[in-house]
Every structure is written in structure tokens, then in C-alpha cells.
């Protein structure tokens, strides 16, 4: 069963990765960056929005909790990568020659699960839930951003679809968990 799932994952990866063209490579590389002209405005907007809604003390709490959230998803991803040791597509002897590696380098040796997908989805779920009553459009935009960032990891040739999907699932769980922590702590401030 697991072998069949991995086979399907590799086939889906090769299909999705193969959709790329040099015309779009720069866009997907840029979108995948942690700090860019796309992400920095998102970060500042949600912090500014937090300040407008909650004031300074609770925005500092938001900032601390989001920092812990990103550290948690990042470290869990590293733990899984080293524990499971699934090779990235570019290191997988079975498909590395068919992989379209956009950046020219692959990154770390292991891929399961994607920290980019986990971090961005945790961030989006945290702020999406936090502002759901005030701004449903923001939630939609954040989810769109997550899907684009997550797909960029496949496009660039550094993650399998299952790596990305697992990262999104962990991100959703941690985003929900940490926003619940914020709602609990904010009543005490």
C-alpha cells in the first residue's frame, strides 16, 4: 500500500513538475522565497491589522505566538525530514534525471515534509481564524498564497506532492492550535 502511494506521488510529481516552462521559472522561484515583495507586505499587513484590532499589548502577544508557531512547524519539519529520510526528488535515483530542477541546486537531502508548506499554512490559518469575523477576504487571500507557495515547491523540483500536502496538514493543525492559545491568553492580558 505504501509503495503504491509513493509510486503515485512520484508520478504526480513528475507530471506537475513537468508543467514548468523557463518563462515562469522566475515567478515561481520568487514566490517560494520566505522574504520577498509578496511576503513582506503580507507580514506587515497582518501585524498592522492586529494592532488596529487588538492594540499594542495583544499585537505583541500575536507576534510572540506566531514566532513560536513558525519555530514549531520548522523544527517539526526538520525532525520528520531527518527521521523519515525520504530523499528529495533531485536525489531520488529513480526520478532525478526526469526532475526539472529550476534553481540548479536541490537544498537539503531529505524532503518529507515541506517546511514552506507547513509554515505558510500555519501562518494563514492562524491569521485567517484570528480575523475571520472581521475580514473573510483576507482568509481567502491567505489560503490562495499558501496554495501558490506550496505548488512552487513542486514546480521548483524540491518536494513531492505528499511532502507539500503533509506540510499543509501540519500547518493547519498548528495554526489552529496556536490561535486557540492566543484566544486563551488574550483574556488574561
- Domain coordinates of the chain in residue numbers? 2-186
Angle at 69 between CA 67 and CA 70, to 5 degrees: 70
CA distance 92 to 58: 46
Q: What is the pTM for the complete model shown?
A: 0.91
Name the nearest CA neighbour of 73 among 182, 172, 142, 149.
Answer: 172
Residue 132 has pLDDT above 90, yes or no: no
Give residue 189's pLDDT.
Answer: 67
Give residue 58's pLDDT.
Answer: 92
CA distance 57 to 45: 17
pLDDT tens-digit map of 8-46: 999 999 999 999 999 999 899 888 887 777 778 888 899
Give residue 188's pLDDT.
Answer: 77
pLDDT tens-digit map of 60-99: 999 999 999 999 999 999 999 999 999 999 999 999 999 9
Amino acid at each position: 500500500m505504501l509503495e503504491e502511494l509513493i509510486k503515485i506521488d512520484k508520478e504526480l510529481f513528475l507530471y506537475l513538475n513537468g508543467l514548468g516552462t523557463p518563462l515562469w521559472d522566475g515567478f515561481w522561484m520568487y514566490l517560494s522565497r520566505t522574504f520577498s515583495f509578496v511576503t513582506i507586505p503580507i507580514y506587515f499587513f497582518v501585524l498592522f491589522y492586529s494592532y488596529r484590532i487588538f492594540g499594542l499589548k495583544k499585537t505583541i502577544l500575536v507576534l510572540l505566538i506566531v514566532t513560536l508557531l513558525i519555530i514549531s512547524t520548522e523544527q517539526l519539519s526538520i525532525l520528520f525530514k531527518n527521521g523519515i529520510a525520504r530523499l528529495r526528488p533531485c536525489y531520488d535515483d529513480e526520478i532525478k534525471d526526469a526532475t526539472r530542477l529550476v534553481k540548479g541546486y536541490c537544498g537539503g537531502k531529505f524532503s518529507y515534509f515541506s517546511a514552506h508548506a507547513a509554515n505558510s499554512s500555519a501562518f494563514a490559518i492562524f491569521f485567517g481564524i484570528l480575523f475571520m469575523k472581521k475580514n473573510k477576504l483576507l482568509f481567502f487571500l491567505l489560503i490562495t498564497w499558501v496554495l501558490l507557495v506550496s505548488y512552487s515547491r513542486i514546480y521548483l523540483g524540491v518536494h513531492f506532492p505528499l511532502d507539500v500536502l503533509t506540510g499543509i496538514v501540519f500547518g493547519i493543525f498548528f495554526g489552529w492550535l496556536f490561535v486557540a492559545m492566543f484566544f486563551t491568553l488574550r483574556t488574561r492580558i
